[in-house]
Amino acid sequence: MDHIDFYKLLEIDRSASTGDIKKAYRKLARKYHPDLNPNNKEAEKKFKEINEANAVLSDPEKRKKYDEHGNNWQHAEEFEKARQQQSQNQQKRKTSQSFAGEDFSDFFGSMFGGSQGQARQSVFRGQDLKAELHLELADVYKSQKQTLTVNGKNIRLSFPAGIENRQVIKVTGHGSPGVNGGPNGDLFITFSINNHTKFKRDGKNLYANVDLDLYTALLGGEVTVNTFDGKVKLKVPRETQSGTKVKLKGKGFPVYKKENEFGDLFITYQVKLPTNLTGKEIELFTTLKRMKNEK
């Protein structure tokens, strides 16, 4: 992984105070913010680097580790444990009277690998990365492919239909590169699914309200309703009450990783009363009321 100097990135000295760091971060964050640099990949990359630098340098513990270990600051504890272990091994060799000139080379050889100046530093797994993918509800109704840009690299991924909002998927090996030949970390993608449809989703089931005019509710008939994959006609029985629920089996949302399996769609009828009645209509409704009361 290329070395990035967080101090140079924030344009500050290594002796900068917490206030200096905060001030520098705010200035650069405004300059490179994605909202002010739409479709600018370089600005987007710079903005992410600035955020990472601020997250490390504004934390005293992380800053101390970074000052000692640079970009490998996340592995500071592993490095320290390795040093302590070698120190203990060296001490044991001394007490067993096996001290010789090669002890020092053994120490550095086991610490850095090899001998005679051959350096092989400790191997560490790369850091896991997190990303958030924003999609519409319609986007996850069918399986699809998406291209994500992570660490400057484009990753083509396939996503099964039926992904839930805030669901996390692990993509193995697409995190940060390992240190000194270690394995890559993993990428964890959190899905943020926006719903701008008239359907309410609850797992694999969908819910929707359908307006029903008074005359169809009283006399019966047909009504055309929208589902997620098209329109269907439903028969409406006579004297259907407002709030009546109808289940459309298999017209809900696809079940995650279960091909051709769908939930149900639940329709709730909302009877709408007529407005702007004519004189004739008022007369007819008055007659109906009188007839009803005479029973």
Phi first, then psi: give them for residue 65, nearest 5 degrees: -65, -40
Phi, psi of 61, deg, nearest 5: -65, -45
Is residue 37 within 8 A of residue 23, CB to CB? The reply is: no
Burial 255-282 (b: 16+ CB within 10 A, else e): bbeeeeebbebbbebebeeeeeeeeeee
Task: Give the pLDDT of residue 116.
Answer: 43
Spacing of C-alpha 93 from chain mean position: 52
**pLDDT tens digit at each of 295 positions of the chain:** 455 788 898 999 989 999 999 999 889 988 888 878 888 888 888 888 888 888 889 889 888 888 877 766 666 666 666 666 666 655 655 555 444 444 444 444 444 444 444 445 678 888 888 888 899 999 999 998 888 877 777 888 888 999 999 999 999 998 888 888 889 999 999 999 999 999 999 999 999 999 999 999 999 999 999 999 899 999 999 999 999 999 999 999 999 999 899 999 999 999 999 999 899 989 998 998 888 887 6
pLDDT of res. 118: 42
pLDDT value at position 262?
A: 97
Q: What local confidence, expressed as pLDDT, does residue 94 receive?
A: 55
Vertex 202, ends 198 and 203: CA angle to 5°? 125
This prediction has a pTM of 0.57
Nearby residues of 170 by Cβ (< 8 Å), 6 or more positions away: 186, 187, 188, 189
221-227 and 265-272 beta bridge pairing = unpaired
In this prediction, residue 115 carries a pLDDT of 43
Collapse the DSSP code of 64 into the 3-class scheme (helix H, G, I; strand E, B; otherwise coil) and give the result. Answer: helix
Nearest CA to 74 out of 58, 56, 89, 86 is that of 56
The pair of structure tokens assigned to 47 is 């903005």
Q: CA torsion sign, 71 to 2 to 183 to 164?
A: positive
Give the list of residues 6+ apart from residue 255 with CB closer than 8 angstroms, or none: 162, 204, 261, 262, 263
d(CA 62, CA 68): 10
Residue matched to tokens 């083509």: 156
- The label of the residue with tokens 């589902």 reads 227
Q: Which two tokens stand for residue 34?
A: 């994605």
Per-residue pLDDT reduced to its tens digit, 156-212: 888 899 999 999 999 999 888 888 888 999 999 999 999 999 999 999 999 999 999
